[in-house]
Amino acid sequence: DQQVKQNSPSLSVQEGRISILNCDYTNSMFDYFLWYKKYPAEGPTFLISISSIKDKNEDGRFTVFLNKSAKHLSLHIVPSQPGDSAVYFCAASPTSGTYKYIFGTGTRLKVLA
């Protein structure tokens, strides 16, 4: 059973508009969340993270929102750019003491020029 779910396998957005990528998790022990971006033929690269003590973290065009009661997080990219076209993975980690991240299956974002 998948503990981290990205239910939208793909998303298309017009350049300049907002991209919203969603992620749901089932394990209430998760308290640290990350987003990674992956281009073809490259490994995932870290984008942004959020701890469960926060509900929002912002880094330039990227903002991650965490709703603990709904066990839901989202990544907002605004404005979207064609270079943002990639696969985005959400990952979650339980309380400290483990090296393990649980990843979602990814959402392929296409930003149309």
Partner 1 sequence: ETGVTQTPRHLVMGMTNKKSLKCEQHLGHNAMYWYKQSAKKPLELMFVYSLEERVENNSVPSRFSPECPNSSHLFLHLHTLQPEDSALYLCASSQGGSQETQYFGPGTRLLVL
CB of 4 to partner 1, least distance (A): 7
Instruction: Say whether residue 103 binds partner 1 (CB under 8 A).
Output: yes
Assigned token pair, 27: 């394990």
Nearest 5°: phi and psi at 76?
-110, 130
- 4 near 58, Cβ under 8 Å? no
Binding partner 1 by CB under 8 A: which of 8, 15, 20, 49? 49
Report the amino acid identity of residue 106: G
From 10-18, 21-29, 70-78, 101-109, give the range in contact with partner 1 by CB under 8 A. 101-109
The pair of three-digit structure tokens given for residue 81, joined into one six-digit string: 């750019």
Q: Please state, as a whole number, how many other Cβ atoms lie within 10 Å of the Cβ of residue 8.
A: 14
Q: Segment contacting partner 1 (CB under 8 A): 12-20, 61-69, 76-84, 97-105?
A: 97-105
Residues that bind partner 1 (CB under 8 A): 2, 4, 32, 34, 36, 41-46, 49, 89, 91, 93, 96-106
